């Protein structure tokens, strides 16, 4: 369910006309629906009702403070992968006891910061990280609660760049050697072993990889119990996909039911880290057509958004539906929707059947709420976009558009380069 719809041929987000927002804030911009975000979180959380669980929203998918606050107000926690995301989560009001810290390359200062805040759990990705955290915890006199991220060697059947559960990937500890590392962790005096963590990838559209991974983790937990290593938290990560094009991912209720059946008889709290499934279809990227261009072989529709604003199409070849903000009677053509950046890879949709947009028209790139702004950059010295949140019949600027002054923040010309300038 999402709240982007047409009324009399005009796209609305909840009760606000999208073109009215564009007239006031300019283009391009990211636009989110509060009702959709709240609804999706509630549906996911309810899928695990009746069993101890904590839904920790994956901040990397959309880390805007207002977005995080929505889920925090609904009782959720936050899954982080950096010190910056920890700072964001705390600024948004997250309780440290509902924050889990994942990621393969945590710096010493980040580990100290998280220990100072007394977060719920560190998901450890390597033996060396285990030893480093133990040392830092000892120096600080604060024991660290940890889980080991185990790699179950399960093919998630998704794009290779967002697949994380196979032996050849950089993530986690091979499930076959995990018992050895758990023994080590149990012996380290400044660590408290409390959990097992597993995350096999993103944008999964089948249940089987989740279930296969869970079964392998259950076998590991059984072996750990035999070693008197008791597991209180089972972190299954995130990864449930959404529909961008023709995908048919399972509904969260179906996903939850399958997980609940596999967990029968287990005495631990389940931690879930959804991201895309909550925010993906709750946001769009609105852009304006600047020019059209036709060659002997191709049609190009040039818009004011670009690959620096939405990297997924150029990075992954990802699909985002292209819809007019105002519907008109017009032909459809096979064209590429491209931006102003000086790269051949700067496209938002390539060789697709779409309306024959004309300069000045507004275009919506759908399903852009996840890994949209969070992956954006200032490439070509382009200021990053504003983010807008609609609540019923009002909209709020939850991130202002960057200015040229923002682009050079922190930069300095050293004295030896001083000269007349211009």
Known catalytic residues? 342
Does residue 150 come out as left (phi exceeding 0), alpha (psi in the -120 to 50 range) or beta?
beta
Angle 34-46/252-262 helices, nearest 10 degrees? 20
Which among 22, 99, 33 is positioned nearest to 66, based on CA atoms? 33
Q: Give the C-alpha separation, 104 to 171, whole Å.
A: 6
Tokens 């029968």 -> residue: 264
The token pair at 291 is 């020019």
Q: Give the C-alpha separation, 282 to 39, whole Å.
A: 10
Strand pairing of 347-355 and 332-338?
antiparallel
Q: Give the C-alpha separation, 11 to 89, whole Å.
A: 32
Q: Give the C-alpha separation, 346 to 363, whole Å.
A: 17
Question: Is the backbone peptide bond immediately before 28 cis, with ω within 30 degrees of 0?
Answer: yes
């Amino acid at each position: 369910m999402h709240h982007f719809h047409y009324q009399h041929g005009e796209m609305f987000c909840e009760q606000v006309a999208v073109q009215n927002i564009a007239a006031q804030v300019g283009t391009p911009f990211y636009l989110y629906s509060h009702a959709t975000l709240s609804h999706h979180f509630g549906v996911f959380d309810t899928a695990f009702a009746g069993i101890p669980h904590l839904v920790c929203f994956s901040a990397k998918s959309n880390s805007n403070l207002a977005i995080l606050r929505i889920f925090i107000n609904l009782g959720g926690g936050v899954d982080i992968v950096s010190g910056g995301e920890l700072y964001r989560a705390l600024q948004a009001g997250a309780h440290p006891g509902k924050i889990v810290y994942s990621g393969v390359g945590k710096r010493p200062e980040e580990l100290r910061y998280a220990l100072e805040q007394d977060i719920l759990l560190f998901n450890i990705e390597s033996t060396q990280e285990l030893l480093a955290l133990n040392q830092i915890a000892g120096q600080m006199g604060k024991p660290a609660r940890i889980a080991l991220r185990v790699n179950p060697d399960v093919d998630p059947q998704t794009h290779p760049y967002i697949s994380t559960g196979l032996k050849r990937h950089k993530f986690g500890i091979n499930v076959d050697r995990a018992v050895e590392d758990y023994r080590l962790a149990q012996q380290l005096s400044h660590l408290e072993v409390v959990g097992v963590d597993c995350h096999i990838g993103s944008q999964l559209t089948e249940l089987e990889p989740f279930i296969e991974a869970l079964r392998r983790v259950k076998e590991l937990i059984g072996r750990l119990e035999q070693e008197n290593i008791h597991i209180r938290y089972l972190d299954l990560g995130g990864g449930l996909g959404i529909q961008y094009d023709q995908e048919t991912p399972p509904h969260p209720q179906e996903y939850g039911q399958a997980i609940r059946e596999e967990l029968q008889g287990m005495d631990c709290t389940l931690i879930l880290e959804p991201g895309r499934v909550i925010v993906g279809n709750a946001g769009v990227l609105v852009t304006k057509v600047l020019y059209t261009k036709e060659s002997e072989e191709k049609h190009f529709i040039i818009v004011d958004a670009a690959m620096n604003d939405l990297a997924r199409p150029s990075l992954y070849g990802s699909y985002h539906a292209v819809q007019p903000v105002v519907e008109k009677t017009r032909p459809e053509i096979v064209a590429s929707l491209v931006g102003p950046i000086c790269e051949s890879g700067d496209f938002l949709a390539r060789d697709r059947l779409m309306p024959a947009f004309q300069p000045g028209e507004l275009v919506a790139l759908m399903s852009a709420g996840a890994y949209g702004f969070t992956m954006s950059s200032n490439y070509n010295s382009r200021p990053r976009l504003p983010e807008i949140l609609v609540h019923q019949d009002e909209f709020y600027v939850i991130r202002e558009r960057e200015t040229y002054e923002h682009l050079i923040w922190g930069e300095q010309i050293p004295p030896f380069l001083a000269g007349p300038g211009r």
